[in-house]
Amino acid sequence: MVIPGYDPDDIDERLEELLSEHELGEYLTAEERTRYDDGESLVDLLSGDDIRDLLGENPKTDG
Protein backbone atom coordinates (compact mmCIF):
# COMPACT_ATOMS: atom_id res chain seq x y z
CA MET A 1 0.00 0.00 0.00
CA VAL A 2 1.37 3.40 -0.97
CA ILE A 3 0.82 6.32 1.39
CA PRO A 4 1.31 9.66 -0.39
CA GLY A 5 3.98 11.88 1.16
CA TYR A 6 5.76 9.12 3.05
CA ASP A 7 8.80 7.00 2.27
CA PRO A 8 7.65 3.34 2.39
CA ASP A 9 10.96 2.24 3.94
CA ASP A 10 10.59 4.77 6.76
CA ILE A 11 7.02 3.67 7.42
CA ASP A 12 8.01 0.00 7.39
CA GLU A 13 10.81 0.63 9.90
CA ARG A 14 8.44 2.55 12.17
CA LEU A 15 5.80 -0.19 11.96
CA GLU A 16 8.41 -2.78 12.91
CA GLU A 17 9.36 -0.65 15.92
CA LEU A 18 5.71 -0.43 17.00
CA LEU A 19 4.90 -4.10 16.56
CA SER A 20 6.32 -6.73 18.86
CA GLU A 21 6.41 -10.38 17.90
CA HIS A 22 3.19 -11.19 19.77
CA GLU A 23 1.33 -8.26 18.20
CA LEU A 24 2.08 -9.43 14.66
CA GLY A 25 -0.56 -12.13 15.07
CA GLU A 26 -3.17 -9.47 15.82
CA TYR A 27 -2.54 -7.74 12.50
CA LEU A 28 -1.33 -10.48 10.14
CA THR A 29 -2.95 -13.71 9.03
CA ALA A 30 -0.84 -16.87 9.02
CA GLU A 31 -0.27 -16.45 5.27
CA GLU A 32 0.71 -12.79 5.69
CA ARG A 33 3.07 -13.72 8.54
CA THR A 34 4.80 -16.23 6.27
CA ARG A 35 5.15 -13.57 3.57
CA TYR A 36 6.55 -11.15 6.18
CA ASP A 37 9.03 -13.78 7.40
CA ASP A 38 10.05 -14.27 3.75
CA GLY A 39 10.92 -10.57 3.46
CA GLU A 40 7.75 -8.80 2.34
CA SER A 41 7.27 -5.41 3.98
CA LEU A 42 4.63 -4.57 6.55
CA VAL A 43 3.57 -1.63 4.38
CA ASP A 44 2.51 -4.12 1.71
CA LEU A 45 0.83 -6.53 4.11
CA LEU A 46 -1.12 -4.28 6.48
CA SER A 47 -4.31 -2.49 5.55
CA GLY A 48 -4.43 1.29 5.50
CA ASP A 49 -6.61 1.24 8.61
CA ASP A 50 -4.10 -0.96 10.44
CA ILE A 51 -1.23 1.34 9.50
CA ARG A 52 -3.12 4.43 10.65
CA ASP A 53 -4.03 2.64 13.89
CA LEU A 54 -0.42 1.69 14.60
CA LEU A 55 0.86 5.17 13.76
CA GLY A 56 -1.82 6.76 15.92
CA GLU A 57 -3.40 8.59 13.01
CA ASN A 58 -7.15 8.45 13.26
CA PRO A 59 -9.10 9.15 10.08
CA LYS A 60 -10.66 12.57 10.02
CA THR A 61 -14.43 12.76 9.71
CA ASP A 62 -16.63 15.66 8.70
CA GLY A 63 -18.82 17.10 11.40
In a domain, 26, yes or no: yes
In a domain, 50, yes or no: yes
In a domain, 60, yes or no: no
What distance lies between CA 14 and its chain's CA centroid?
9
Cα separation, 21 vs 26, in Å, equals 10
Q: Is the pTM of this model over 0.75?
A: no
Domain span at residue 36?
A: 8-54
pLDDT recorded at residue 16: 87
45 close to 32: Cβ distance less than 8 angstroms: yes
Cα separation, 8 vs 10, in Å, equals 5
At 5-18, the pLDDT tens digits run 667 778 888 888 88
At 29-56, the pLDDT tens digits run 999 999 999 999 999 999 989 888 888 8
Query: Is residue 31 packed enough to be buried (19+ CB in 10 Å), middle (13-18) or exposed (0-12)?
Result: exposed
